[in-house]
């Protein structure tokens, strides 16, 4: 990317002006993308603006401010959350179950206010988000604090996590911004985001979240904000706390103001005159429920006038002027007729219930996920059971519980499979994982992902072989495993749509060049569970050849620094799979000859392990890792008794604490560089 040149006459002032402009542009495009769903620039163009801002802030760190888009994730992991007291209590709402409850609410309010039954009251109507309530505090327009609802009086401070929400402005914009603004909102996950997170958790052998609300709550309460940042949380703001510097006379006026200041609000809210309009709103929202991109579980009605709200007051735990109108539950009882096994793209085998079709919230349901065999055992699910199923934000509904009182004695238990239902390979369950999975390289559901991973830049680096071409290879039946890549010809690629001879030749040449990649890249390309790039390189350096690695015992594997029992078992299971060995043999016969690697002997840091933590300023983490590995050492990610040194930058957190507990030597960046130089002098 070409960055703008600074004015040499006054580079700092020039940078300050450009930084302010970039921040304004980025927040503007954030709002267009995340709030209004109306982006006007591409992701690449946004990224270019963001990188330019990062570049300028790196040149002029004193110009970095808390509201900069680059600072949305900057905090170190927390040891625990601190308590935060609400100036005004965050009360619960009284519930209504039927439309009659709603009209009774209207009559009760009129009696309390002395308003005749036929005289309409103005209501403000909102969808009731199924998320996590939070309070935001803006001081002079800057987001300074955020907390969960807690018990209504005291919550947990989650400021750093809330700052990761892209749709939420770090600084308010517009006119008449109050000195202090406390605003309540609901943090939630879209259904698309929820489904993606659960797929990732199941593929990683982790238990999935039960529903989007649990996922949002779990994400918001992460002690490490960097984890929260990887969860695309959203928020809608809905109510005031303490406000100083301006005032409002109604809920509608408040919504209009906060929306103008850049805070996200639900676009479906509206005012109604009279309870009939409020009931109509409830019916309309209920009808839209299944088509919305997020979960709602009802509608909220509030007396619109703040003056009337004050006159009505509050009870011990709820305001008298608001009502939560709950939707009917989305559950039904049906018969579990069979359990089928589904193999995912990473080899996870998921049991899926085949149900007698039943209508749940207007949708006919015939399948429900059972997640894993731990879940089946916990709920004691058997084929032939009558079960309660629920649609709770997932594409495939879930079985809530078994109605054991309906059992006849003919129900059958399902044991975990011994082999993959797709390819017949032996299946494994790795320690501390709930999932069982197939590790076969030739398993049909996994072929697409295994080829893409195999060809990726950090693996075999087969330039040009991306998703579209892999899809065509599979559609034409040209590959059934990664080994088939090395049998492809120019004529094979010429069968693709709009493929020319020149491009086909380039693809074949790229495949040919990959035959001589480093051994570490080849090991990584195989996609062995828990073996990332660094572990693959360590294995290559430790064993020197693929043959030695194939024959390695668990004892030999676990004797290597940073390779524990779980990783060792995964490696051993992979090479014990006959199908995997056959595919590797086919590649070797086709001319794949991974370059042997030897670990440097006699380097300055031979046999030493380093952990880098905190904000580093003298070098990047990649540069630090390279310096250590160039001298025969290891740069590892976690602190243990085997760690020799921890290099701590600014704001170092839990890793520094653990290093001190274990009496591991702690170095500053300067001390690390000095150690590097001292070691060099000693060698000389």
* Per-residue model confidence (pLDDT) at position 344: 78
* Per-residue model confidence (pLDDT) at position 683: 43
CATH 3.30.1330.60 describes domain 609-683: no
Residue 439 has pLDDT above 80, yes or no: no
Rounded to whole angstroms, the Cα distance separating 85 from 64 reads 30
Contacts with 653 (C-beta within 8 Å, 6 or more apart), sequence order: 76, 77, 78, 79, 613, 614
Q: What is the mean pLDDT of the chain?
A: 85
CATH superfamily of 441-599: 5' to 3' exonuclease, C-terminal subdomain (1.10.150.20)
Count CB neighbours of 569 within 10 A: 18
Closest to 250 (Cα-Cα) out of 222, 273, 217: 273
* Per-residue model confidence (pLDDT) at position 512: 95
Percent pLDDT > 70 in the chain is: 91
Longest CA span, the chain: 97
* Per-residue model confidence (pLDDT) at position 110: 95
DSSP run (H or E) holding 129: strand 122-129
Q: In this predicted model, which residue has the larger pLDDT, 530 or 127?
A: 127
Cα 45 to chain center, whole Å?
23
Residue 442 has pLDDT above 60, yes or no: yes
* Per-residue model confidence (pLDDT) at position 684: 38
Q: In this predicted model, which residue has the larger pLDDT, 444 or 452?
A: 452
Four-residue CA torsion sign, 459, 464, 466, 470: negative
The residue whose two tokens read 């005031």 is: 240
* Per-residue model confidence (pLDDT) at position 3: 46
β 386-390/331-343 pair status: antiparallel
Domain ranges of the chain: 11-71, 94-326, 331-406, 441-599, 609-683
Rounded to whole angstroms, the Cα distance separating 123 from 321 reads 10
| Beta bridge pairs of residue 504 | none
Query: What phi and psi values does residue 129 have, to the nearest 5 degrees?
Result: -65, 140
pLDDT-derived band at 602, boundaries 50, 70, 90: low
Rounded to whole angstroms, the Cα distance separating 621 from 632 reads 17
Closest to 353 (Cα-Cα) out of 340, 364, 372: 340
Residue 286 has pLDDT above 80, yes or no: yes
Instruction: Give, rounded to a whole angstrom, the gap between the first and last alpha carbons of the chain.
Output: 42
Residue 443 has pLDDT above 60, yes or no: yes
CATH fold for domain 11-71: Helix Hairpins (1.10.287)
Pull the structure tokens for residue 21.
């402009």
β 322-326/94-96 pair status: parallel
pLDDT-derived band at 618, boundaries 50, 70, 90: confident
* Per-residue model confidence (pLDDT) at position 681: 45
Residues 514-552: tens digit of each pLDDT: 999 999 999 999 989 888 888 898 888 877 788 888 988
- Looking at domain 331-406, its CATH class is mainly beta
pTM listed for this prediction: 0.55
Residues 470-496: tens digit of each pLDDT: 989 988 999 988 999 999 999 999 999
Residue 598 has pLDDT above 60, yes or no: no
Domain 94-326, what architecture? 2-Layer Sandwich (3.30)
Catalytic machinery residues: 128
Rounded to whole angstroms, the Cα distance separating 156 from 148 reads 5
């Amino acid at each position: 990317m070409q960055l703008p040149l600074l004015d040499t006459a006054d580079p700092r002032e020039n940078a300050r002006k450009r930084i302010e402009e970039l921040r304004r542009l980025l927040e503007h495009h954030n709002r267009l993308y995340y709030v209004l769903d109306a982006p006007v620039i591409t992701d690449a163009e946004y990224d270019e603006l963001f990188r330019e801002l990062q570049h300028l802030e790196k040149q002029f760190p004193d110009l970095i401010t808390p509201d900069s888009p680059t600072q949305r994730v900057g905090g170190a992991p927390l040891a625990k959350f601190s308590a935060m007291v609400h100036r005004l209590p965050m009360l619960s709402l009284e519930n209504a179950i039927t439309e009659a409850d709603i009209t009774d609410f209207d009559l009760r309010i009129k009696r309390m206010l002395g308003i005749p039954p036929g005289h309409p009251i103005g209501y403000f109507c909102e969808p009731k988000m199924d998320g996590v309530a939070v309070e935001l505090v803006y001081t002079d327009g800057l987001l300074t604090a955020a907390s969960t609802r807690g018990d209504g009086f005291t919550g947990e401070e989650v400021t750093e996590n809330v700052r990761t929400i892209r749709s939420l402005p770090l600084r308010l914009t517009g006119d008449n911004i109050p000195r202090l603004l406390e605003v309540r909102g609901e943090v939630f996950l879209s259904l698309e985001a929820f489904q993606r997170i659960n797929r990732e958790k199941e593929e990683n052998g982790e238990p999935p979240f039960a529903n989007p609300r649990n996922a949002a709550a779990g994400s918001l309460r992460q002690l490490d904000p960097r984890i929260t940042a990887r969860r695309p949380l959203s928020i809608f703001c809905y109510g005031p706390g303490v406000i100083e510097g301006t005032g409002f006379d109604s809920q509608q006026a408040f919504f209009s103001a906060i929306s103008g200041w850049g805070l996200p609000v639900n676009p479906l809210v509206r005012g109604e005159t009279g309870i009939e309009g409020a009931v109509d709103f409830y019916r309309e929202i209920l009808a839209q429920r299944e088509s919305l991109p997020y979960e709602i579980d009802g509608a909220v009605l509030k007396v619109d006038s703040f003056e009337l709200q004050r006159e009505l007051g509050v009870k011990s735990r709820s305001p008298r002027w608001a009502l939560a109108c709950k939707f009917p539950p989305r559950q039904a009882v049906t018969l579990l007729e069979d359990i089928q096994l589904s193999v995912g793209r990473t080899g996870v085998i998921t049991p899926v219930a085949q149900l007698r079709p039943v209508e749940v919230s207007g949708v006919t349901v015939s399948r429900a996920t059972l997640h894993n065999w731990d879940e089946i055992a916990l709920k004691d699910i058997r084929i032939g059971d009558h079960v309660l199923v629920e649609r709770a934000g997932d594409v495939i509904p879930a079985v809530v519980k078994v109605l054991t009182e309906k059992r006849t004695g003919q129900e059958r238990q399902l044991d975990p499979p011994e082999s993959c239902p797709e390819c017949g390979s032996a299946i494994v369950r790795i320690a501390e994982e709930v999932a069982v999975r197939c590790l076969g390289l030739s398993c049909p559901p996994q072929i697409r992902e295994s080829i893409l991973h195999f060809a990726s830049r950090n693996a075999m680096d087969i330039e040009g072989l991306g998703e579209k071409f892999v899809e065509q290879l599979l559609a034409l039946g040209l590959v059934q495993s990664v080994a088939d890549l090395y049998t492809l010809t120019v004529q094979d690629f010429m069968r693709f749509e709009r493929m020319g001879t020149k491009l086909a030749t380039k693809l074949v040449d790229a495949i040919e060049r990959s035959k001589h990649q480093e051994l570490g890249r080849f090991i990584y390309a195989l996609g062995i569970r828990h073996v990332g790039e660094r572990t693959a390189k360590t294995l290559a350096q430790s064993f020197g050849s693929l043959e030695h690695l194939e024959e390695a015992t668990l004892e030999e594997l676990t004797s290597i620094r940073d390779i524990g029992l779980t990783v060792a078992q995964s490696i051993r299971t992979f090479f014990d799979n006959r199908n995997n060995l056959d595919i590797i043999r086919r590649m070797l016969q086709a001319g794949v000859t991974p370059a042997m690697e030897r670990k440097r002997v006699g380097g300055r840091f031979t046999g030493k392990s380093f952990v880098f933590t905190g904000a580093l300023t003298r070098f990047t983490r990649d540069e630090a890792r390279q310096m250590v590995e160039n001298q025969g050492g290891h740069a590892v990610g976690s602190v243990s008794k085997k760690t020799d040194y921890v290099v701590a930058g600014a704001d170092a957190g839990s890793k520094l604490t653990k290093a001190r507990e274990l009496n591991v030597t702690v170095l500053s960046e300067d001390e690390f560089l000095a150690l590097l130089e001292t070691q060099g002098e000693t060698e000389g």
